[in-house]
Structure 1
Amino acid sequence: MRGFALAVAAAIAAAPVAQAQVTEEMLLNDTASTGDVLTNGMGRHLQRYSPLDTLNRDNVQNLVPAWAFSLGGEKQRGQETQPLVHEGVMYITGSYSRLFAIDVKTGREIWQYDARLPEGILPCCDVVNRGAAIFGDNVYFGTLDARIVALNKDTGDVVWNKRIADYRAGYSYTAAPLIVNGLVVTGNSGGEFGIVGEVQARDAETGDLVWTRPVIEGHMGTLNGEESTMTGTLNATWPGDMWKTGGGATWLGGSYDADTDTLVFGTGNPAPWNSHLRNAGQPVDDNAGDNLYAASRLGIDPANGEIKWHFQTTPREGWDYDGVNEVVAYTDREGNDRFATADRNGFFYVLNREDGAFVNAYPFVKDISWAEGIDENGRPIFVEDNRPGDPAEAADGNRGEVVFSSPSFLGGKNWMPMAHSPDTGLFYVPSNEWGMDIWNEPITYKQGAAYLGSGFTIKPNYEDHIGSLKAIDPDTGEVVWEHQNPAPLWGGVMTTAGGLVFTGTPEGEFIAFDDMTGEVLWSFQTGSGIVGQPITWEQDGEQYVSVISGWGGAVPLWGGEVASAVNYLNQGGLLWTFRLPQQLAAN
């Protein structure tokens, strides 16, 4: 057994009775079912919107702490989880691959599971975990040694434990799993180690593999234990054997559009970062150098893992502009079914939900330098002088020409999820205004070793702010309002029918904004930086809000000059839950 559950006697005595099984219908209706939060994204469309309006613009100032829960120990690294709530029990994941069940009435621990992580794990960007999934009698989460674990939701006992990939080759796993039609669907992490991105689907009851879909061309998928179809066409967009270590990690997980019965997964950077190695001899205007399907969004059939469509946000990618950022299904003001995604490359894309076809794109950060814009086909109009230089052309052959590129490789928006309000029609996007000096270096692949071929230093673009929460109109690209923050924003966003937008800052402030104006209506200092994801639900006639506080993630590890500027921020591991008392709801 690769982990263990810790029972707390006092908590068990106070624990709720065994909960009902979670069904596919319950997952489908998660947004409307306001007493529970059963999915990452508060709905598998990932809108992160609640129809609750008990808590609203007029009374949010009356929101008060109900309880706080400490993750304890010395494992106080970045806390990026989104809580789940089911029939009086909350489930959260923690750094170093931990999972907790908590009584939502008291904040007491019911059980805890700690994965037994081996020596030699290779997580890229802190020891974070972004949440769990729940279905039937089980709760599921991934571990840093690239495993997926099913636990009994009532006891924390291990039901099954399966390997996604070999951690010794650089694989890991940090995303929340996705449940669709009795399948547990996962991606993988490790794009900086020359791994191959893949989506896998398992039987939720047994953990047995049903299908696999690699996302780099030339690799073979499987269905029911047999080879199925090849991804793409061998060597159509990759030279030589580079597809074998092509990257494209599916590290943020995916969404599910029930209307079209489609899984939507994003894919990460191609490997190595040095684009000259991956595009040798290919002209700039030739699609043969696109390195499919890295830096893309993929529509996948949940029944068999076949790719229905793809849209590549950054072909010929050379800046680590991963395409993993969440794809949100929504309906625009004219009744069109759309997808929206705010890419790491600085552009906000609108796609057709039926086939992933390009509709429009707008810059959502300032000072984009690597492209002049997006053409009518959705392809970037490259500024080739802002591509890091080829080290083979350098006098010493060790470092190509250094360029300043904006946004930085941590992106105009990174993993931190945006939210959409069907009431305002707006998206609320946590973004950052920063750039980088970047250059290419020679590199060869070695299993388990970093496979970048680039060096970099991140720098802020402005003296007074880096973070910027933006309310964006997806029909026009207009920034309706903006709230600037000194430190980078790295936490998720939530919006509600009460006219509120919630998010947190690295400085520890948990903030509620007016969704129409951006006015700050309420804030609470949590004691550590917020890089987690807020939720809201109702219980006993009152509305609750929860968010985890605990500074960490990629910025302190990779942020260059930005990391130095925020090195005073304290780590932590505290889950805060707030409530609006009934007697104050009318105020």
Structure 2
Amino acid sequence: MKRKLLSVLVILATADATAQVTDAMIAKDAADTESVLSWGMGTQGQRFSPLSTINTKNVNKLVPVWSMSFGGEKQRGQESQPLVHKGKMFVTASYSRIFAVDVKTGQKLWKYEHRLPEGIMPCCDVINRGAALYDNLVIFGTLDAQLVALDQNTGKVVWREKIEDYTAGYSYTAAPLIAEGMLLTGVSGGEFGVVGRVDARDPKTGKLLWTRPTVEGHMGYKDGKENGISGTTNATWPGETWKTGGASTWLGGSYDASTGLAYFGTGNPGPWNSHVRKGDNLYSSSTVAIDVKTGKIAWSYQNTPNDAWDFDGVNEFVTFDMDGKRVGGKADRNGFFYVNDAKTGKLINAFPFVKKVTWASSIDIKTGRPVFDPANRPGDPTASADGKKGSSVFAAPGFLGGKNQMPMAYSPKTQMFYVPTNEWGMDIWNEPISYKKGAAYLGAGFTMKPLFDDHIGSLRAIDPKTGKVAWEVKNNAPLWGGVLTTAGDLVFWGTPEGYLKAADAKTGKVLWQFQTGSGVVAPPITWNDGADQYVSVVSGWGGAVPLWGGEVAKKVNFLEQGGSVWTFKIPSSTNVASK
């Protein structure tokens, strides 16, 4: 009897161990077709799947197999990328909620709804972009700047840690990143004079391991001890402006095991009025590469020095191989696409990926710096007659960017990036501003405007070597959802009008689309279970466009909110016949 009981315990222990998410599994996430363990479908963020069961020949047979509603009145923008592991889908939703769902049926297994305090200050809707998996935990961040780790099977809280003070304007909206056994997170709140940073924690306990500020002059810490100041105090920030410098790391990061570096984009410097903080303002509007073992900055590259247009540089840095080198691609909000050496940060290539860029004429490859057009910087209000409003300029892209939060995808098969872009501009002017804890810290006014009558959004296939656009699919409304590409020569993306679409990755020909009932502002995923390949996407219109979009927002005010997850596959008999 004892022997039988021991055997049962061993079997249960083995089953438990296989259900746990390990460092080795996360390292192989991009190649694992049965799971989706990280935001980006791999820590490098390529969003490429080696699956080809669904392909250009049979994608038109794709049908929904289930849809699950987030329910309630808490809709708004739904920007989450789901995760999939051992028969469960973990998906976050607006207002700091998370659900566990049966991947085959869509049955809700459990949900956790974070109790949010009064007075939270999210800049750009009450969204959440996803979770992280580690061991038997699912970990996500909340709008009041906390991290919550839940048991994957029960949804019960295992640990909870505060990131920062939400009353000072801090919040958290990104999906955490797991790298080398550490949980890496950033902060949101760049419009409130916060100080950006990256934190590393023990994912099993939430214990803080190191923290690295992304504004020069601030001290980093490791194991509770001082670990060096970021940069040199006052080198590129005048006076005490560095103390409220912004540079929030609100989109999260990527990690490449071949370099040992985590890459975080940083947001706008504070305030928007650049005349208050003359200088480059490191490390704002930049890509910052951090050695995960030391918690120190290995290199940084500034996309927009002395940013005057809110061109947050948070956009994802996606690592890939090009000409025998490990490099990274980034489609920046400022309208330029950058290719940097992933080990050193050296600029390799830079080119505009939208049709109109006014703030700079080009990027000097030798120096890495933009060639500014001084006439297109908003004027200094102190130089105006009344001292209340600086001269207004028309700038393109508008502050919502040539690309914003919606992640692009890279296909090693076609060697192209698939980039969701937007064509718009803005009238922008500066105003006097002073810092007050918890208050908006802009010092600017603006009005967004579309550039063309027939479209704002455009999905573009771009060669990172040449900058050539191989094809594009235009969209009337702005594109605000991410992209997925597969070895089946397909590209999937969603539109605010509610469609999930699939196109031929080589030609751009749209082969399939499905109406989800609300706008898609989230990235799709794919995985397989046995012979079946599934595609899932979250649907629910919202985000920054209806809140900040000016004339553009009026153009899309007919779109309805929602909150649901859709999952698709090709029926088995059709799938076999189409191969």
- Please state if 1:361 is matched with 2:360: no
Kindly provide the amino acid, as one letter, of the partner of residue 181 in structure 1. E
Q: Structure 2 stretches of 5 or more lacking a match?
A: 1-14
- Please state if 1:105 is matched with 2:94: no
CA deviations over 1:502-526 (Å, ceiling 9, x no partner): 0000000110000011000000000
- Please state if 1:118 is matched with 2:108: no
SS at match of 1:125: coil
For residues 45 and 382 of structure 2, what CA distance do their matches in structure 1 show?
A: 44
For residues 382 and 29 of structure 1, what CA distance do their matches in structure 2 show?
A: 42
SS at match of 2:547: helix
Task: State the match for 1:508 in structure 2.
Answer: 498
Task: State the match for 2:429 in structure 1.
Answer: 439
* Alignment equivalent of 2:363, drawn from 365, 374, 377: 374
- Please state if 1:403 is matched with 2:393: yes
For residues 337 and 241 of structure 2, what CA distance do their matches in structure 1 show?
A: 30
Is this contact kept in 2: 1:19–1:154, CA < 8 A? no
Task: State the match for 1:489 in structure 2.
Answer: 479
For residues 326 and 271 of structure 2, what CA distance do their matches in structure 1 show?
A: 36
Aligned-residue offset at 1:18: 9.4
Task: State the match for 2:325 in structure 1.
Answer: 336
Task: State the match for 1:349 in structure 2.
Answer: 338
- Please state if 1:479 is matched with 2:478: no
- Please state if 1:575 is matched with 2:565: yes
For residues 384 and 173 of structure 1, what CA distance do their matches in structure 2 show?
A: 35
* Alignment equivalent of 1:296, drawn from 286, 294, 316: 286
Is this contact kept in 2: 1:18–1:154, CA < 8 A? no
CA deviations over 1:148-182 (Å, ceiling 9, x no partner): 11111111110111011000000000000001122
Q: CA RMSD in A?
A: 1.0
Task: State the match for 2:232 in structure 1.
Answer: 233
For residues 201 and 356 of structure 2, what CA distance do their matches in structure 1 show?
A: 43
SS at match of 1:562: helix
Is this contact kept in 2: 1:133–1:141, CA < 8 A? yes
Task: State the match for 1:527 in structure 2.
Answer: 517
For residues 26 and 206 of structure 1, what CA distance do their matches in structure 2 show?
A: 20
For residues 521 and 97 of structure 2, what CA distance do their matches in structure 1 show?
A: 17
For residues 215 and 353 of structure 1, what CA distance do their matches in structure 2 show?
A: 18
Alignment of 1:304-315 (within 5 A): 304-315=294-305
Task: State the match for 1:268 in structure 2.
Answer: 267
Aligned-residue offset at 1:121: 0.1
For residues 451 and 498 of structure 1, what CA distance do their matches in structure 2 show?
A: 47
For residues 86 and 528 of structure 1, what CA distance do their matches in structure 2 show?
A: 27
For residues 356 and 213 of structure 2, what CA distance do their matches in structure 1 show?
A: 35
Is this contact kept in 2: 1:472–1:478, CA < 8 A? yes
For residues 417 and 82 of structure 1, what CA distance do their matches in structure 2 show?
A: 10
CA deviations over 1:546-586 (Å, ceiling 9, x no partner): 00100000000000000011000000001000011221122
Task: State the match for 1:142 in structure 2.
Answer: 141
Aligned-residue offset at 1:17: 9.0
Aligned-residue offset at 1:205: 1.2
Is this contact kept in 2: 1:19–1:87, CA < 8 A? no
Task: State the match for 1:465 in structure 2.
Answer: 455
Aligned-residue offset at 1:354: 1.2
Kindly provide the amino acid, as one letter, of the partner of residue 563 in structure 2. G
Aligned-residue offset at 1:19: 6.4
Task: State the match for 1:418 in structure 2.
Answer: 408
- Please state if 1:215 is matched with 2:201: no
SS at match of 1:316: coil
Kindly provide the amino acid, as one letter, of the partner of residue 325 in structure 2. N
Task: State the match for 1:153 in structure 2.
Answer: 152
Kindly provide the amino acid, as one letter, of the partner of residue 469 in structure 2. V
Aligned-residue offset at 1:328: 0.2
| Cα distance change on mapping 1:19 and 1:558 into 2, 3 Å | farther
| Cα distance change on mapping 1:17 and 1:304 into 2, 3 Å | closer
CA deviations over 1:435-479 (Å, ceiling 9, x no partner): 000000000000000000000000000011000100000010001
Task: State the match for 1:554 in structure 2.
Answer: 544
Kindly provide the amino acid, as one letter, of the partner of residue 433 in structure 1. E
Larger CA deviation: 374-383 vs 564-573: 374-383
Task: State the match for 1:283 in structure 2.
Answer: none
For residues 488 and 76 of structure 1, what CA distance do their matches in structure 2 show?
A: 20
Alignment of 1:22-33 (within 5 A): 22-33=21-32
For residues 53 and 237 of structure 1, what CA distance do their matches in structure 2 show?
A: 50
Q: Structure 1 stretches of 5 or more lacking a match?
A: 1-15, 280-288
Task: State the match for 1:4 in structure 2.
Answer: none
Kindly provide the amino acid, as one letter, of the partner of residue 366 in structure 1. K
Task: State the match for 2:10 in structure 1.
Answer: none
SS at match of 1:459: strand
Task: State the match for 2:175 in structure 1.
Answer: 176
Aligned-residue offset at 1:316: 1.2
Aligned length: 562
Is this contact kept in 2: 1:511–1:522, CA < 8 A? yes
Kindly provide the amino acid, as one letter, of the partner of residue 453 in structure 1. G
For residues 64 and 239 of structure 1, what CA distance do their matches in structure 2 show?
A: 58
For residues 444 and 75 of structure 2, what CA distance do their matches in structure 1 show?
A: 30
For residues 388 and 306 of structure 1, what CA distance do their matches in structure 2 show?
A: 35
For residues 436 and 496 of structure 1, what CA distance do their matches in structure 2 show?
A: 36
Task: State the match for 2:529 in structure 1.
Answer: 539
For residues 401 and 97 of structure 1, what CA distance do their matches in structure 2 show?
A: 40
Task: State the match for 2:6 in structure 1.
Answer: none
Is this contact kept in 2: 1:512–1:523, CA < 8 A? yes
Kindly provide the amino acid, as one letter, of the partner of residue 375 in structure 1. D
For residues 552 and 574 of structure 1, what CA distance do their matches in structure 2 show?
A: 13
SS at match of 1:350: strand
SS at match of 1:192: helix
| Cα distance change on mapping 1:82 and 1:19 into 2, 3 Å | farther
Is this contact kept in 2: 1:360–1:378, CA < 8 A? no
For residues 404 and 129 of structure 1, what CA distance do their matches in structure 2 show?
A: 32
Aligned-residue offset at 1:335: 2.4
For residues 384 and 259 of structure 2, what CA distance do their matches in structure 1 show?
A: 50
Task: State the match for 2:8 in structure 1.
Answer: none
For residues 205 and 536 of structure 1, what CA distance do their matches in structure 2 show?
A: 27
Alignment of 1:185-204 (within 5 A): 185-204=184-203
SS at match of 2:276: helix
CA deviations over 1:386-436 (Å, ceiling 9, x no partner): 000000011111100000000000000001000000000000000000000
Task: State the match for 1:427 in structure 2.
Answer: 417
Kindly provide the amino acid, as one letter, of the partner of residue 314 in structure 1. T
Task: State the match for 1:76 in structure 2.
Answer: 75
TM-score if structure 1 supplies the norm length? 0.95
For residues 80 and 413 of structure 1, what CA distance do their matches in structure 2 show?
A: 15
Structure 1 segments, 4+ long, off by >4 Å, are: 16-19
Kindly provide the amino acid, as one letter, of the partner of residue 336 in structure 2. F
For residues 222 and 230 of structure 1, what CA distance do their matches in structure 2 show?
A: 9
For residues 24 and 133 of structure 1, what CA distance do their matches in structure 2 show?
A: 12
For residues 501 and 205 of structure 2, what CA distance do their matches in structure 1 show?
A: 42
For residues 272 and 580 of structure 1, what CA distance do their matches in structure 2 show?
A: 50
